[in-house]
Amino acid sequence: MKHKTHGRKRNKKSTVACLMSILVGLLGTLAAGDRKHKTKRTRFGTGVETGAKLVQYHDTCVLFRSFFISDDFFVGLNHRNTRAGPEFKRGNAVFRTFPDRIIVDVEADALRCSGMPNIPLPPDFGSGLLSALSFQLSWKKDNSQLAPIVVVSTRIEHPSHGIRWDYFLDIPAKDIPLTTELEISLSARDRINLGAFSAHLE
């Protein structure tokens, strides 16, 4: 019995160590004090990273990242706090609200939680969880959640059948202040709740 108990502890430690390795390796750009947004080129324009969440479902660990895209609107957009409140500037131009529409790219990387680096991942690892992903989005202002957003269209990209999936969500954003957070709730097949995370520019 003791042997089994120690085995469970070792497995648990291995899983925790692997999760920490994923966090350190893939979330480095979100480290405390790092205010520079990571950028990403897409066919819809250049996106800036606005949030991330690590989800574990059985032995599948998925790192979700969100990017805001509207051509190149978000590139070089700097945030600072002033006496009049938060301000977003690019050069001498001041911006207060989002464009009328934006694309939210939810990027998902699937990995095996238990590690086993010598065993390669199958070509469509995580596809059973990620191929039927659905989203509920809502803007949050002053910690109050507004009505859910109607996603106009969703485009899914899964190039080369690798571990990465991209979900491009077209949503309305007219007159929404740039300081507003976007809450992204994630669900998989059979209504599996994968939690939620916030995306924001600050």
% of the chain surpassing 90 pLDDT: 50
How would DSSP label each residue in 119-167? SPPPTTTTHHHHTT-EEEEEEEETTEEEEEE---EEEEE-GGG-SEEEE
The residue segments making up the domain with residue 104 are 2-199
Q: What tokens does 12 get? A: 């648990």
* Of 12, 51, 9, 48, the residue nearest 30 (C-alpha): 51
Task: For the chain, give the number of residues.
Answer: 202
pLDDT at residue 37, rounded to an integer: 67
pLDDT at 83: 81
Q: Give pLDDT tens digits for 64-115.
A: 999 999 999 999 998 888 887 788 999 889 999 999 999 999 999 999 888 6
| Paired residues of 61 in beta bridges | 56, 111
Q: Token digits for 114?
A: 């238990």
Dihedral (CA of 83, 38, 135, 104) sign: positive
Instruction: Please give the Cα distance from 130 to 124 (Å, whole number).
Output: 10
Number of structural domains, the chain?
A: 1
CA atoms within 13 A on the CB side of 185: 13
